[in-house]
Amino acid sequence: QNIEYMFGIVGIPITEIAIAAQAVGIKYIGMRNEQAACYAASAVGYLTGRPGVCLVVSGPGFLHALGGMANANLNCWPLLVIGGSSDRNQETMGAFQEFPQVHRHTFLQKGFRTSIYGRPGSCYIDIPGDFVNLQVDKSSVKYVECCLPPPLSMAEQSTISEAVSVVAQAEQPLLIVGKGAAYSRAENNVRKLVDLCGLPFLPTPMGKGVVPDNHPNCVAAARSTALQHADVIILLGARLNWILHFGLPPRFRQDVKVIQAKELGNNVRPAASLLGDINTVTKQLLEEFSKRRWKYPSSSQWWKKLREKIMSNEEKSKGLELQKSLPMNYYTVFRHIRDLIPRDCILVSEGANTMDIGRTALPNYQPRQRLDAGTFGTMGVGLGFAIAAAMVAKDRTPEKRVICIEGDSAFGFSGMELETICRYNLPILIIVVNNNGIYTGLDTDAWKEMLKSGDPATCAPPVSLLPNAHYERIMSAFGGKGYFVTRPEELQDALKASVADGHTPALINVLIDPRSERKKQEFPWLTRSNM
C-alpha cells in the first residue's frame, strides 16, 4: 500500500511486526510515548496524502494512541493504527493487557482505503498475538493491489454558477482558505483564483502558505475587521468552528452570506453549497469566473478599510517587537526568529500565546509547512509533528529545516522525544519560549515569596511552572546542542549557530517576561453595557 513510515513503541505482541516492516523497507521510528507516535503518524498523512502507521501494544498502549486517533479524525488526516491484542484463545480470560479494543478484525487494504476515501481519518487494525507468528501455507496468502488514490468529486455546475453570482454581487467579499485546501493540493488553483478575482483572503492557521502570506491580498493582519464586516464569505477547506467563531455574530455580520465548500451547513445556512474536492471545486470556480470576466475593484472602500487596519495593526506589533526592556516579550523574540530562520522552513508551533502570536508573527510562503494544534486544539503534538516532518523532509526535500516553536508548558507533554530526535539524528531546531507557566507564570523572586506561604500544592497558582527551568540541558544530555538565552544578542547568536549547523539537533530555551501577553484585541461591540 506504499506505506513509508511507521511510528510506535514495541512490546508483546507486536515487536516482530516492526522488525518485519523494516525488512521490507518501511522506516520504523521508535518513539517514547504512543501518543506522540500517533501524532507523528497522523502528520505524515497530512504531509504526504498517504497514511502513516502507528504501531502499539494492546491495552494501555492502544489507549495512549486514542488521543492521536481523535486528533486525526478531527483534522481529517489519514492514519492507520495497528495494535496487538491478546491471543484469541485467551479473550475475556484476563490475558496480559487485555482490553476490548475492537469487536471485529479488519483487513489491511480495507483499512488503508477507509483512511483516505471520503472524509479522511483514522482506522484501527487489530492483530491478535497468535496471528503475529502464525505459520500458514504461503500459497494461501492473498496479495491485493495497492489502493488507488481516492476519487475526486465535482460540485454541481448549477451551484458553481450560483456561488459566482453571489460573489459578483458582494460589496465586501472575503475568501477564507483552510487546511483542507492544503490537504487537497489546491494551492495553484487557489492562487489563480485570488489573482483572477482580486479577492481579499484570510488563511486559517494551517491554511497559511496555500497563498503566500506576503501576497498583497492577504488580510491576516486585519483578521477581526475582515470577519466582522464581510458581506459574502467563501470557505475553501475551512470550517465554521471555534477557530472562526462559528460564523456567528458579533464576530460576523448577521446577514453575511456564506458559500461553503466540502463541509456544508455547519452552524450557518449556506448561500451556496459546493460539495466536492477542494482543488476540483476551485478549478470549477476559476472557469466560471473566467467566463464572466469579473474582478473585485482594488480601489473599493472595503479594500481601503482593510488596508488601513492592516497598517494600524502592523504598527502596533512593530512597537512591541522593538521594545528593548528585559526580560524580552513574545514579539521581540518572534522578530528575531523571523529574521534569522530559513524562509522555506517547515514550522511546527504549539502553546497558548506562543502559537497564537507566532501565527501572525511568522509568515508562511508554501503550503503544508505549518503544523499546529489544529481543529482539536491539541497540546502535546509539537515534537511528534516535528519528527514526522523531519522524516518526510529528509526523503523528499532534504534542504528544508524543521523549526519547532513550543511554549514551555506544551514542550512538557512530549519533551522526552528529544531522545528520539537525537537517536535518529534529525536536525530539528526546537525553540522553547519559556514564560514559566501556562498563559503566565511567576519569576524567581515571586516564586520564592510564594513558597513562604506553605505547600505549593495549596499556594502555587495552577498556571505556574518552575521558574527558569533549563530545558536545554535535556537536549545536551542526549547529544544535541542546548542554549539558554535571556537577551536578544544571545538569541541571535544561538539562532545563527543552530541554523548554520544543518546536522545537529538543537534546543534554544528563551526566557521571557512571565507577564508577557498578546497585544490587546479591539472588539468594538464589547462595551460595558454588554460585557
* pLDDT, tens digit only, all 531 positions of the chain: 899 999 999 998 899 999 999 999 999 999 999 999 999 999 999 999 999 999 999 888 999 999 999 999 999 999 999 998 766 555 554 554 555 555 444 567 778 888 998 889 999 988 888 888 888 898 988 888 888 889 999 999 999 999 999 999 999 999 999 999 999 999 999 999 999 999 999 999 999 999 999 999 999 999 999 999 999 999 999 999 999 999 999 999 999 999 998 777 788 999 999 999 999 999 999 999 999 999 999 999 999 999 999 999 999 999 999 999 999 999 999 999 999 999 999 999 999 899 999 999 999 999 999 999 999 999 999 999 999 999 999 999 999 999 999 999 999 999 999 999 999 999 999 999 999 999 999 999 999 999 999 999 999 999 999 999 999 999 999 999 999 999 999 999 999 999 999 999 999 999 999 999 876 665 454 433 333
**What CATH code would you report for 323-511?**
3.40.50.970
Q: DSSP letter string over 71-95?
A: HHHHHT--EEEEEEE--GGGTTTT-
For residue 215, the tally of other CB atoms under 10 A from its CB is: 14
Domain boundaries, given as residue ranges, for the chain: 5-140, 157-308, 323-511
CA dist list (Å): 426 to 110, 384, 417? 33, 12, 11
- What is the secondary structure of 53-76 as a DSSP string? EEEE-TTHHHHHHHHHHHHHHHHT
CA torsion 234→200→278→242, rounded to 10°? -60
Q: Which three cell numbers stand for residue 8?
A: 510506535
State the SS3 of 265-313. Answer: CCCCCCCEEECCCHHHHHHHHHHHHHHHCCCCCCCCHHHHHHHHHHHHH
The CATH number given to 5-140 is 3.40.50.970
Torsion of CA 30, 31, 36, 37, to 10 degrees: 10
Sign of CA dihedral 324, 330, 334, 337: positive
Pairwise CA distance, residues 236 & 261, whole Å = 6
Sheet holding 173-177, edge to edge: 201-203, 173-177, 232-236, 257-261, 272-274
Cβ atoms of 43 and 389 within 8 Å: the answer is yes
What CA–CA distance (Å, rounded) separates 143 from 21? 16
163: cell is: 456561488
Can you give the pTM of this predicted structure? 0.93
Q: What is the rounded CA–CA span in Å between residue 505 and residue 365?
A: 24
* Residue 129 confidence (pLDDT): 80
274 touches 259 (CB < 8 A) = yes
CATH superfamily of the domain spanning 157-308:
TPP-binding domain (3.40.50.1220)
